[in-house]
Structure 1
Amino acid sequence: MAAKLNFFPLGNADTLRIDLADGQKVLVDYAAMRNGEIGDKRCDLPEELRRDLNRAGRDYYDVVCITHTDTDHCKGFGDFFWLRHAGKYQGEGRIKINELWVPAAAILEDGLTDDARIVRSEARHRLRDGKGIRVFSRPERLKKWMQDEGIDFESRKHLIVDAGRTVPGYDKTGPEQVEFFVHCPFGWRQNENTVIERNEDSIVLHATFVEGGQESRLFLASDVNYETVSEIVQVTRHHGNEDRLLWDIMKLPHHCSYLALAPDRGAEETKPEPDVKWLFEDQREAGAVIVSPSNPIPAKGSEADQGVQPPHRQAANYHRRITNADDGEFRVTMEHPSQTNPKPFAYNVTALGIALDVAAPMVSSSAAASTPKAG
């Protein structure tokens, strides 16, 4: 089977399910945002995920990655998953997690509440237990926390993955046919900062898929801002790993916020900082796809257009322009579902590149698109 990337319409919130070539299922973030009110076009995430798992004959995910603990990335975590740290999260019908991926910040941050606190409790429990966990980056304060908790760091360091490394257990030549490269968080920056910056200390991944001998690349940018994107570009280029910044499909950072491009919004279009511009314009493959996990882009002069929250029209104008110039696609998750059919959409990894799954329930045949490789 070929890998598939499944995006869910959840408002300004993130969930992506990656179905791998060997049948593994990787869930990146979980945000059950639908409230059931009339007119709510956000999908029923628990229902959609359970339907897929039932079809696959399983009650677990191989991996659940919580990129950071903002509500729009973990809402409903404690209601949906079977968790190891407390019996009240182990009822019938809950979905199990073989391996939980979290940034170091999710373990270290104090003052968390609700689902963020539940994520932290589960991650800490698994780290103490020494299994079923991957922690991304190892700042000195993580070592200090482990020491204070009586956890032997040396016996757990194989569970920690630093930026600039690949995630163990995934190989382009293996049956899974994918490799995950870690761009963020940076342990050194967490050592410099006295306060955890949740968005900037989140997990940023670059996935390389292989199908029919052809490589396709997915960039998952979490909620980082332009400064962190610039640091990712500079560090990666310094180490001669520019190929780790090539992309066929980009999950935009922070719901199409202008702050993921530059400090200034601009009147009609955000002008990206130089390193960000290089990533978006020079590293995109022909026909590349940008997915904005966000509310619809506001119309000029509308109330939403005047607000501070993303999505920002000026950022979207930039992304649309460079996408149109490259014969690509700019797709906003909440611009597609209807009130009666708020379903996810998917892209298939094919031997010709990334292609929109025309069998997805909310996509008509006239909307089909693909991004075949040049040459």
Structure 2
Amino acid sequence: MHKMTFFPLGNADCCRIDLDNGKKILFDYADTRNRDDDDDLRCDLEQELRDDLDESDRDSFDVVAFTHLDEDHYKRATEFFWLEQAKKYQSDDRIRIDTMWVPAAAITEDGIEKEEGKILQKEAQHRFKNGKGIRVFSRPGRLKDWCKKNDVDFEERKHLITDAGQLPPEFSLDDDGVEFFVHSPFAKRLDENNVEDRNQDAIVMQVTFRFDDIETKAILMADAPHEVITDIVEITKGKKRTERLEWDIVKLSHHCSYLSVGPDKGSDKTEPAEAIKELFEDYGQEGGVIVSTSKPIPGKGTKGDNDTDPPHRQAANYYKDDALDDAKNFKVTMEHPKESAPQPLVIKIDESKATVQKRAAVAGAAAVGTRPPRAG
């Protein structure tokens, strides 16, 4: 079987994908827990990942994707990973990245303020200059400009670049039981827009898993706002590839922000933009699971209900009421299995498609929400 694991990190992202053949992929890394606060309920991400790698007798990930360079997607990554750019980031206890996945903006962006973000950018630039250990998504003209300014032969690096609408070559359904379809970023948008925006230029993918000829589909949405999701839906429909919009699992955009649903929060429920409504209500499969990588959803009238920052109760109500056939399949990382003691959320992917697992008190894990197999 394959597995997806989402970690309780507050409003921060990290998803580990474990393939049936033993390969491991990590989407984002944000170790947000306050190590000096014993009451912090966020998990010790470093220890969780180290324990898993030790159990698998590994010291590396096949791929680590940084969907964009906001801190809630990379915090403490430069302390955890072996970086190729300098020896000070290379010690025996650091975890290696076989291939780094980044959007093109992670290489070309000028506006990174935090030092750790700058270090990760230098790592991506270093690997791209050396022509190995990296895959870059989208092909904006400014990447060509960056290559020219930095004396890098763009034509010799084209094999490292994958555009929207394509499949990165690191994995395949036949060899690995998985493929990744790139929805975003769009080269056209970047070429025509003079301003890079991390949320709009982030990596958004549909992941298709195959197990015993049964296909299960997940969409990982980074922090895309509703305007970008609308573009994804309209472009995919225009290309007559609507199967790429189907989902059994969705990792929600931007920690359940209403701005990933529509322009207005609403008083009790966010009204979705038309394309968002179509994506969630027409392309979701029976028994689908939606994951909000966020703090607990605030109750109506509580202090958190007035916060500008996500998660937003109104957005959550839309997903629970209209996007799912069972509201119990709306999962919040800091509420699973209970708000007072969150644990990593594990979704098993096999011939029964997607099943959420409970943390077992004894060896082994009990699956819940199992459903009969469907054709892929």
Return the TM-score normalized by structure 2: 0.95
Query: Is 2:116 the counterpart of 1:115?
Result: yes
How far apart are the structure 2 equivalents of 1:340 and 1:264? 31
Query: Is 2:71 the counterpart of 1:79?
Result: no
How far apart are the structure 1 equivalents of 2:34 and 2:20? 34
Distance 1:252 1:339, change over 3 A: closer
1:181 aligned counterpart, secondary structure: strand
Distance 1:105 1:261, change over 3 A: same
Q: Quick check: 2:337–2:358 contact (8 Å CA) kept in 1?
A: no
Aligned to 2:14: 15
Aligned to 1:26: 25
1:173 aligned counterpart, secondary structure: helix
Residue correspondence of structure 1 range 122-201 to structure 2 within 5 A: 122-174=123-175, 176-201=176-201
Distance 1:329 1:3, change over 3 A: same
How far apart are the structure 2 equivalents of 1:72 and 1:115? 12
How far apart are the structure 1 equivalents of 2:348 and 2:237? 29
Q: Quick check: 2:336–2:344 contact (8 Å CA) kept in 1?
A: no
How far apart are the structure 2 equivalents of 1:299 and 1:322? 19
Query: Is 2:57 the counterpart of 1:64?
Result: no
Q: Quick check: 1:256–1:310 contact (8 Å CA) kept in 2?
A: yes
Structure 2, gaps ≥5 residues long: none
Aligned to 1:256: 256
1:247-295 superposed Cα distances (whole Å, 9 cap, x missing partner): 0000000000000010000111001011110000100000100000000
Q: Quick check: 1:13–1:255 contact (8 Å CA) kept in 2?
A: yes
1:249 aligned counterpart, secondary structure: strand
Aligned to 2:45: 45
Name whichever of 115-124 and 43-52 sits farther off.
Answer: 115-124
How far apart are the structure 1 equivalents of 2:320 and 2:349? 23
Q: Quick check: 1:11–1:42 contact (8 Å CA) kept in 2?
A: yes
Distance 1:192 1:371, change over 3 A: farther
Q: Quick check: 1:289–1:323 contact (8 Å CA) kept in 2?
A: no
User: What is the identity, as a one-letter code, of the residue corresponding to 1:16?
Assistant: C
How far apart are the structure 2 equivalents of 1:360 and 1:63? 28
Distance 1:361 1:199, change over 3 A: farther
How far apart are the structure 2 equivalents of 1:328 and 1:371? 14
Q: Quick check: 2:357–2:367 contact (8 Å CA) kept in 1?
A: no
For residue 374 of structure 1, report the CA deviation from its aligned partner. Answer: 4.7
1:227-251 superposed Cα distances (whole Å, 9 cap, x missing partner): 0000000000000110001000000
Name whichever of 179-188 and 35-44 sits farther off.
Answer: 35-44
For residue 22 of structure 1, report the CA deviation from its aligned partner. Answer: 1.2
Residue correspondence of structure 1 range 287-298 to structure 2 within 5 A: 287-298=287-298
For residue 116 of structure 1, report the CA deviation from its aligned partner. Answer: 1.1
Distance 1:324 1:107, change over 3 A: closer
How far apart are the structure 1 equivalents of 2:369 and 2:339? 23
2:98 aligned counterpart, secondary structure: strand
1:92-151 superposed Cα distances (whole Å, 9 cap, x missing partner): 200000000000011111142222111101000000000000000010000110111111
1:217 aligned counterpart, secondary structure: strand
Residue correspondence of structure 1 range 164-243 to structure 2 within 5 A: 164-174=165-175, 176-243=176-243
Distance 1:69 1:360, change over 3 A: farther
Q: Quick check: 1:66–1:102 contact (8 Å CA) kept in 2?
A: yes
Aligned to 1:273: 273
Aligned to 1:325: 325
1:343-370 superposed Cα distances (whole Å, 9 cap, x missing partner): 31211111121112345569x9898223
Name the count of aligned residue pairs: 373
How far apart are the structure 1 equivalents of 2:366 and 2:346? 15
Name whichever of 319-328 and 69-78 sits farther off.
Answer: 319-328
Query: Is 2:4 the counterpart of 1:5?
Result: yes
2:286 aligned counterpart, secondary structure: strand
How far apart are the structure 2 equivalents of 1:325 and 1:339? 23
Q: Quick check: 2:286–2:325 contact (8 Å CA) kept in 1?
A: no
Q: Quick check: 1:286–1:328 contact (8 Å CA) kept in 2?
A: no
Distance 1:298 1:20, change over 3 A: same
How far apart are the structure 2 equivalents of 1:359 and 1:212? 25
Q: Quick check: 1:287–1:327 contact (8 Å CA) kept in 2?
A: no
For residue 372 of structure 1, report the CA deviation from its aligned partner. Answer: 3.9
How far apart are the structure 1 equivalents of 2:146 and 2:366? 55
How far apart are the structure 2 equivalents of 1:205 and 1:324? 20
User: What is the identity, as a one-letter code, of the residue corresponding to 1:83?
Assistant: L
How far apart are the structure 2 equivalents of 1:367 and 1:352? 11
1:370 aligned counterpart, secondary structure: coil
1:141 aligned counterpart, secondary structure: helix
